Amino acid sequence: MAYDPKPEHKFTFGLWTVGSPGRDPFGGPVRETLSPVELVYLLAEVGAYGVNFHDNDLVPIDATPKERNKIVSDFKKALDETGLVVPMATTNLFSDPAFKDGAFTSNDPNVRAYALQKTMNAIDLGVELGAKVYVFWGGREGTETDSSKNPLDAGKWFRDALNYLCDYAIDQGYDLKFALEPKPNEPRSDLYLPTVGSMLGFISTLDHPEMVGVNPEVAHEHMAGLNFLHAVAQAWDSGKLFHIDLNDQMFGRYDQDFRFGSVMIKQAFYLVKFLEDVGYTGSRHYDAHAFRTEDYNGVKEFARGCMRTYLILKEKAERFNRDPEIQELLAAIRADDGAHHYLAAGYSRESAERLRGETFDRVALGRRGLNYERLDQLTVELLLGVR
Ligand code: GLT
Ligand code: MN
Ligand code: MN
């Protein structure tokens, strides 16, 4: 079938996504908790390529070494039997009360040290299961009151932690990249490094910037009312799009984590078109949850829907790229008479002299209609299925 997921699509889900029992701040679980092994089988059944996890999604925080080994070997067996892979892993540095004031940016040096130790162990676990990308979502790296922390100290502590962990991964000989995931707020009032742009700026201050990229999430930029495509494009342009968290989210709401493409279809379309046009080869990871109204059949519908919508939008993107009227409009919009190709070589005194000597018909430039209304309407019609 045309929209069936295949391994080459690299669709992955976190254990915490399909495994969410539907808890929210106002109500308890609505679904029974499935084991990691059961979740691997569920993901295999819906056609996913891979499964990602936090250390404690797989191994409880208080497990003994013996329990850990049993859990890991059962999980490996399920991976072998289903063919699922683990492309990414991460650390839970936000659930335990020890992290209530952050992990790497906690005011307490003992908490910061514990966070480093926990992450080293979690990196070992991820690498053991095959992860090549390691995500850092600073769930509680922030404040409710800025009287509590100096943001310069917090920035330094966060940087020190990442430098330490990069050196750890290098020292262990791991083939691993780090992907930093920004979020503007929630669960804390304000989180440090809140957007993709701020993470990209921060990465350039690290000791091993080449090892570190970003993991942008649709919902997190939308929460801040930002254009996700533009953030992803900047990450791609910087060579830093190491991973991506797909879901959906209305602007201005709490963290909704909806099924991919279920709310802001146009934004989802431009995103898929971008990823496919540039040839992004990383995971298409779904960091989303089924509605709290659902049982596990609904969870499977949710997971299938995430992947199916991606593939439908991919097909729409191909259609956009070969639609004669759309392409004609784009060609006309971007028409180039070649008169200024000399600027492409960059600055020189000669080129500046030549530019200064030109006369521009400013009024005519401003009078030109661009036909974006037509282009946008054609795009909408394509998405609505009438072209
Ligand atoms: C949590 C969060 C996500 C992060 C996950 C990785 S955990 O679900 O809301 O955005 O990507 O830590
Ligand atoms: Mn999220
Ligand atoms: Mn995420």
Ligand nearest to the CA of 137: 1
What does the pLDDT average to over 223-236?
98
In this predicted structure, the answer to whether residue 363 has a pLDDT above a threshold of 80 is: yes
340 tagged catalytic: no
**257 Cα to the center of ligand 3, angstroms:** 9
**17 Cα to the center of ligand 2, angstroms:** 10
Output the pLDDT for position 16.
98
Distance CA 91, CA 213 (A): 17
- How do residues 35-86 score in pLDDT, each as one tens digit? 999 999 999 999 999 999 999 999 999 999 999 999 999 999 999 999 999 9
In this predicted structure, the answer to whether residue 371 has a pLDDT above a threshold of 70 is: yes
In this predicted structure, the answer to whether residue 229 has a pLDDT above a threshold of 90 is: yes
In this predicted structure, the answer to whether residue 140 has a pLDDT above a threshold of 90 is: yes
Q: List % helix, strand, coil for the chain (3-state, nearest 5).
A: 50, 10, 40
In this predicted structure, the answer to whether residue 149 has a pLDDT above a threshold of 80 is: yes
For residues 9 and 48, the answer to whether their CB atoms sit within 8 Å is no
Q: Is the dihedral of CA 240, 243, 248, 252 positive or negative?
A: negative
In this prediction, what percent of the chain has a pLDDT beyond 90? 99
- How do residues 295-332 score in pLDDT, each as one tens digit? 999 999 999 999 999 999 999 999 999 999 999 999 99
Output the pLDDT for position 2.
85
Q: Show Cβ contacts of residue 262 under 8 Å, excluding neighbours closer than 6 positions.
A: 248, 305, 309
**139 Cα to the center of ligand 2, angstroms:** 9
For residues 180 and 212, the answer to whether their CB atoms sit within 8 Å is yes
Q: Greatest CA separation found in the chain?
A: 79
Q: Where are the domains of the chain?
A: 7-321, 324-383
What architecture (CATH level 2) is domain 7-321?
Alpha-Beta Barrel (3.20)
57 tagged catalytic: yes
Where residue 213 falls among pLDDT bands split at 50, 70, 90?
Answer: very high
Distance CA 290, CA 28 (A): 15
0.75 exceeded by the pTM?
Answer: yes
Pocket, ligand 1, Cβ cutoff 6 A: 16, 54, 90, 135, 137, 181, 217, 245, 287
At residue 42, the 3 state secondary structure works out as helix
Q: Show Cβ contacts of residue 364 under 8 Å, excluding neighbours closer than 6 positions.
A: none
The ligand 1 atom at the shortest distance from the C-alpha of residue 220 is 10
| Catalytic residue chosen out of the listed positions 54, 220, 243, 289 | 54
At residue 293, φ and ψ (nearest 5 deg) are: -80, -10
What is the DSSP secondary-structure string of 62-126? T--HHHHHHHHHHHHHHHHHHT-B--EEE---SSSGGGBTBSTT-S-HHHHHHHHHHHHHHHHHH
Weakest-pLDDT range from 1-5, 129-133, 138-142, 203-207: 1-5
**143 Cα to the center of ligand 1, angstroms:** 18
Most ligand 1 atoms within 8 A of CB, residue of 88, 94, 99, 181 to mutate: 181
What does the pLDDT average to over 126-132?
98
The ligand 1 atom at the shortest distance from the C-alpha of residue 183 is 10
The whole-chain average pLDDT of the chain stands at 98
What does the pLDDT average to over 13-27?
97
Distance CA 387, CA 382 (A): 5
**135 Cα to the center of ligand 2, angstroms:** 13
**13 Cα to the center of ligand 3, angstroms:** 11
In this predicted structure, the answer to whether residue 129 has a pLDDT above a threshold of 70 is: yes
Ligand 1, atom 6, residue with closest C-alpha = 137
Most ligand 1 atoms within 8 A of CB, residue of 134, 247, 287 to mutate: 287
**181 Cα to the center of ligand 3, angstroms:** 7
Distance CA 184, CA 196 (A): 10
In order of 34, 36, 225, 228, 244, the CA distances from 59 in angstroms are 14, 9, 36, 33, 24
Output the pLDDT for position 1.
59
| Catalytic residue chosen out of the listed positions 4, 55, 57, 208 | 57
At residue 19, φ and ψ (nearest 5 deg) are: -90, 0
Ligand nearest to the CA of 216: 3
In order of 63, 97, 190, 223, the CA distances from 193 in angstroms are 32, 22, 9, 14
Residue with the two structure tokens 């930093």: 180
What does the pLDDT average to over 150-165?
98
The ligand 1 atom at the shortest distance from the C-alpha of residue 217 is 10
CB-side neighbour CA atoms (13 Å) of 319: 18
